[in-house]
């Protein structure tokens, strides 16, 4: 069980699931008599990078940040999630042959998704609480360079990552994005606030990718603005109890 794992085992388990999710290693079959191949964390990261044809690194670890030491840097449980979540964006842009390279992330946290998306030449707009934006601007300023981020109120045309407050986002109701995403925060909000964000994402982007659990008072699937717009619904590979849902305004069921 995931709750019984130690911190390092949790990271290694997530890496294994990531490698299976993207197809870098075979999916483990508990019914098979063939024993699962044990691959080191470095080996798993190498296989993932090779299969996806990307360079993977884990720059700038905060002092005393807990994680698993690898030859690529210190990897944390959250970094593994970001590797997969950024892959989901790239995968769906290619799958649906979408034009453009812009992402709106509601609740971007520290900005790790934005960092890995930048490696794919994708520009991210982050919307979050002010204090969280301070933390993510600190992190992204170090890993991407201060000239490549634009804080709320600034207007750097070539910024790789842009920060907006919720108020500023709604003032730019004409702004469109290739894909919108929310990972692990819609269900932590007031349902009315979550519904308004979801409606904006649906109307202002081709797709909305949601990665959320369903253990709180409402499910993302049941938000009023998203009803009838679910394009696909799957279990999320890397975290038991989470779903990966994709919504589109172009779909009405």
8 A C-beta contact, residue 110 and residue 124: no
pLDDT, one tens digit per residue, over 52-95 is 999 999 987 778 788 999 999 999 999 999 999 999 999 999 99
CA distances from 197 to 96, 110, 169, 181 (A): 23, 19, 10, 10
**Dist. CA 79–CA 56, nearest whole Å:** 11
SS in 3 state form for 26-92? CCCCCCCCCCCCCCCHHHHHHHHHHHHCCCCCECCCCCCCCCEEECCEEECHHHHHHHHHHHHHHHH
**Dist. CA 228–CA 221, nearest whole Å:** 9
Annotated domain spans of the chain: 2-75, 79-247
Residue among 100, 44, 41 at smallest CA distance from 67: 41
pLDDT, one tens digit per residue, over 25-62 is 999 898 887 777 889 999 999 999 999 999 999 987 77
Please indicate whether residue 104 or residue 155 has the higher confidence score (pLDDT). 104
pLDDT, one tens digit per residue, over 186-225 is 999 999 999 999 999 999 999 999 999 999 999 999 999 9
8 A C-beta contact, residue 225 and residue 202: yes
So what's the pLDDT on residue 10? Answer: 94
Bridge partners, residue 162, by sequence: 125, 150
Beta carbons within 10 angstroms of residue 223's beta carbon: 23
**Dist. CA 197–CA 103, nearest whole Å:** 14
Q: What does pTM read for this prediction? A: 0.94
DSSP code for 157 = T
Of the given ranges (5-14, 15-24, 81-90), which has the lowest mean pLDDT? 5-14
- CATH T-level assignment (fold) for domain 79-247: Rossmann fold (3.40.50)
Q: For the chain, state the CA radius of gyration.
A: 18
Instruction: Tell me which H or E stretch contains 102.
Output: strand 102-106
pLDDT, one tens digit per residue, over 112-149 is 999 999 999 999 999 999 999 999 999 999 999 999 99
């Amino acid at each position: 069980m995931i709750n019984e794992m130690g911190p390092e085992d949790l990271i290694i388990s997530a890496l294994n699931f990531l490698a299976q999710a993207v197809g870098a290693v075979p999916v483990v079959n508990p019914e098979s008599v063939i024993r699962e191949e044990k691959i080191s964390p470095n080996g798993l990261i190498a296989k993932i990078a090779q299969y996806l044809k990307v360079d993977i690194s884990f720059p700038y670890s905060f002092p005393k940040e807990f994680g698993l030491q690898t030859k690529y840097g210190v990897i944390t449980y959250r970094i593994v999630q970001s590797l997969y979540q950024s892959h989901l964006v790239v995968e769906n842009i290619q799958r649906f042959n979408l034009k453009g390279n812009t992402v709106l992330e509601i609740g971007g946290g520290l900005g790790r998704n934005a960092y890995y998306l930048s490696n794919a030449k994708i520009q991210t707009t982050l919307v979050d609480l002010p204090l969280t934006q301070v933390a993510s601007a600190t992190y992204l300023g170090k890993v991407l360079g201060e000239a490549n981020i634009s804080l709320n109120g600034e207007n750097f045309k070539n910024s790789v990552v842009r920060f907006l407050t919720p108020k500023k986002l709604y003032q730019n109701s004409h702004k469109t994005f290739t894909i919108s995403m929310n990972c692990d925060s819609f269900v932590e909000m007031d349902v009315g606030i979550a519904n308004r964000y979801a409606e904006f994402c649906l109307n202002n982007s081709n797709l909305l990718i949601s990665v959320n659990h369903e253990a709180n008072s409402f499910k993302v699937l049941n938000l009023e603005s998203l009803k009838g717009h679910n394009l696909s619904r799957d279990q999320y590979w890397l975290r038991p109890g989470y779903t990966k849902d994709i919504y589109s305004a172009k779909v009405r069921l």
